Amino acid sequence: MKMKLQTKIITHCSIFITMFIIFLFLYIYVGKLNLDESLYISASFQTFTGANVDNNKIIRNIATFQMLFSYIFIGIVVYDIIGIHQ
């Protein structure tokens, strides 16, 4: 049981970090932002705090996709946590 929980935690953390990095590069290369701005926006949308993306349509589209992914991912994590303790 303990090993299963550790594996799930490691898997979820790995997915979270991987998606943060993927979106970081999307903001840099597709959104044409510098590293500081990309780090800030990627971290803020991955952790649900949000950020101001002005009127840049490309960045808003990337941010929308990131928020949708983040909410779906947190739903899966919560479902796994509830499923483990039952």
**5 φ, ψ (degrees, to nearest 5):** -65, -45
Question: What is the structure's pLDDT at 83?
Answer: 75
Question: What is the structure's pLDDT at 15?
Answer: 92
State the pLDDT confidence band at 85, using cuts at 50, 70 and 90.
Answer: low
Are 51 and 41 in contact by the 8 Å Cβ rule? The answer is yes
For 30-40, write each residue's pLDDT tens digit. 999 999 999 99
5: left (phi over 0), alpha (psi -120 to 50) or beta: alpha
- Mean pLDDT, the chain, rounded, equals 88
Among residues of the chain, what percentage have pLDDT more than 90? 55
State the pLDDT confidence band at 3, using cuts at 50, 70 and 90.
Answer: confident
